[in-house]
Amino acid sequence: METSHNSLQEKKKIGIVSHILANACHKCEICPHADKKPDTAFERLMRWHRTWCPAWAAHTKVYGVKPLSR
């Protein structure tokens, strides 16, 4: 019972906006698509984009790091 109670409290701390942004990032296929084509300008742009993207940050907070091909 303690575990489910603690995880519920942690979810409440994250907030609804973070969950919405994380969900958008979770369903987005742009980063995985870019990651499948390494050493292209598009992939480098997306790698830079992840450093400041609020949806990527929310995804990392809610779900952990989004799995990419490399």
Q: In this predicted structure, what is the pLDDT of residue 41?
A: 95
Write down the pTM of the prediction.
0.68
For every residue of 2-50, DSSP letters joined together read HHHHHHHHHHHHH-HHHHHHHHHHHH--HHHHHHTSTTSHHHHHHHHHT
Q: What is the pLDDT of residues 3-62, one digit of tens each?
A: 555 555 565 578 999 999 999 988 888 988 888 888 899 999 998 998 899 999 999 999
